[in-house]
Each structure stands twice: as C-alpha cells, then as structure tokens.
Amino acid sequence: MTAAAQQTSPRGIAPASSVAVWSALWVVYVVWGSTYLAIAVAVETMPPLTALGTRFLAACAVLGLALVLRRGPRALAVPWQELRGAVVVGALLLGVGMGVLSLAEQHVPSGVAALIVAIMPLWVVILRAVTGDRPPLVTWLGVAVGIAGVVVLVGPGSAGGDAAAQRTFWSVAMLGSTACWAFGSFLQPRIRTPRDPLLMSFYEMLTGGLALTAVGLLRGEHVTDMAHATARSWWGWAYLVVVGSLVAYTAFVWLVGHAPLSLVSTYAYVNPVVAVLLGWWILGEPLTLGLLVGGAVVVVGVMLVVSAERMARRR
C-alpha cells in the first residue's frame, strides 16, 4: 500500500462491469492481506530491512522500466518540489512504516501485525482533529473502539519471558510506525508531489528501498546474506515484488478510476481478516481468544470510522 493509492481521487468514475470491479477488488483484498504472510516468510531467513529494501528497489526498477518504455526517456522527470514531496512521503510510509513492520514480524504473528496496522485510519482522524477539523461523534466512537481492540492485541498472549517482552515491544513500535504512515498519508495532499500515481509510487518505492537497505547495512545486515536464504523465503520475497508491489497496486489504481471510493476503502477492514486467516492456515499461528476478540474490536472500530467518514462526505 502506498500513499499515492490512498490519496488518488478521480474527477469522475469511468464505466466498468461489476465483474471487472469485483475481480480487481478481490485482488486488493486478498493480495494486500497476504503480504503480511509473505513478509513473515521472507524474514524467516533473510535480513529484514535488506529484504524489504531490495523488494522495493526491484519493484521500482520494473515499474520505472515499464514507464520509460511506454512513455519515453523523460517519463520519470518531475520538478524538484514534487520529487522532494515524494521522498518525504516515501520515507514516512515505506521507510519507517514498512521498516518497523519487517522487524516486528520476527516477533509478532503476521495476523496480529496486520490488525495493529489496520488502526492507521484512526491516526488520520486524530491528525485531522489536531489541525482544526471536527470529525463526527461516530468517528470518535470508532477511534475509541479501535484503541480498545489494540490494547487487547498488544498483550503478550501465551508467550513468556523474553518472547513476551519482544512481542509487546514490537507491537507498541508498530503503533508508532502506523502513526508515521498516517502522517505521510495526511501530509501528501498538503504538499507538492507527482500527480501521476504511478510516478508517485515509483519515487516512494525508490526512497523506501534506498532508506531500508541503507539502515539495514548500518545495523549490520549484509545483502550477501540473502544468498543463504531458503527457497521458501525467496518465494515470499518474489511474491512481495511481483504480486504485492506491482499486481495489487495496479489493480488498486484501476479501481480508483472505475469504482466508488466508498467501495474501494473497504480494503481497510478486509485485509487484516485475510492476514489472520492466512497466518493461521499456512504458518500455524494460534487463533487465541485475545486475538479473536481484539481483532474483532479493531475491525469494528475501523468500520465505524470508514462508514462515518463516508456518510459525512455524502452530506
């Protein structure tokens, strides 16, 4: 997920068949929800920051090449002010947001991580209120419900000792990283950035990829360590590059131009459900009572916020 995807809004919705719309929507539902599983598999034997950094650099290279071949050698040229804005947003979303997530998934189950990340819309509401906006009461109710669910999720569960401490620490760290993600999404329409969502995505991934790889090297990771990763981790990495960064994003960009944003925004509470089920099915992550209750509460909170904002826009 990128800020360009979240903030893109068409002037009008082009006609499309319901089959095409729902096919693309299910790609976003399943693929973006499955990326949490893919990250967990990739970082099993790969250095986490380097794995995510090279993932974005590889996807960026493919996207950049496609843009140049389609639009010509100046396809990637943007004014300096727009480039600077894209770098800031990319650093917040992919650098901090995805960097912390990759480190956290070494200690936090992928399903729990997805549910914690799902509170991002709640941070956006808080940022709006701080800057003078007045969200409706139902929106604030959703924020309160979502926070209550996170309190349940952040607990260590059945883990003990150092494992419990690590899980709690990284769960809290993800709360901070989702705040950075929300701030980047909130900031993007208020600064100059590339108006073309594909260009915005290119420079976001370039910034995030360089930042994550550089920080990974500084903390002692080595790119050569990826050569010793298992085939399972390489499949996870390849899935993130091809399916997560290119296929799903392309589907989302198409959806924004062909479906109501109120429908597209439902990914915010479908993705974590998909992540929890895949983590349980493929990785054997436990479906504890705390996870089910906390996850359900978080999803209800996000649904309240999304629904309240949709009704407010209609008014």
CB 300 within 8 A of CB 145: yes
CA distance 315 to 313: 5
CA distance 291 to 304: 20
Average pLDDT value over all residues in the chain: 85
The pair of structure tokens assigned to 106 is 């070494």
CB 146 within 8 A of CB 119: yes
The pair of structure tokens assigned to 251 is 């589907």
pLDDT at residue 86 in the model: 92
- pLDDT beyond 70 at 14: no
**What element of type H or E holds 186?**
helix 161-187
pLDDT digits (tens, 9 = 90+) for 161-217: 677 788 889 999 999 999 998 888 888 888 898 888 889 889 999 999 999 999 999
CB 129 within 8 A of CB 135: yes
The pair of structure tokens assigned to 28 is 């976003």
pLDDT digits (tens, 9 = 90+) for 261-289: 556 667 777 888 899 999 999 999 888 88
pTM tops 0.95, yes or no: no
pLDDT digits (tens, 9 = 90+) for 131-142: 887 888 888 888
pLDDT band (50, 70, 90) for residue 8:
very low
pLDDT band (50, 70, 90) for residue 7:
very low
What percent of the chain stands above pLDDT 70?
Answer: 88
Question: Structural domain boundaries of the chain?
Answer: 14-314
What percent of the chain stands above pLDDT 90?
Answer: 40
CB 110 within 8 A of CB 40: yes
Residue 157: exposed, middle, or buried by beta-carbon count in 10 A (0-12, 13-18, 19+)?
buried
pLDDT at residue 136 in the model: 82
Residue 47: exposed, middle, or buried by beta-carbon count in 10 A (0-12, 13-18, 19+)?
buried
CA distance 237 to 312: 40
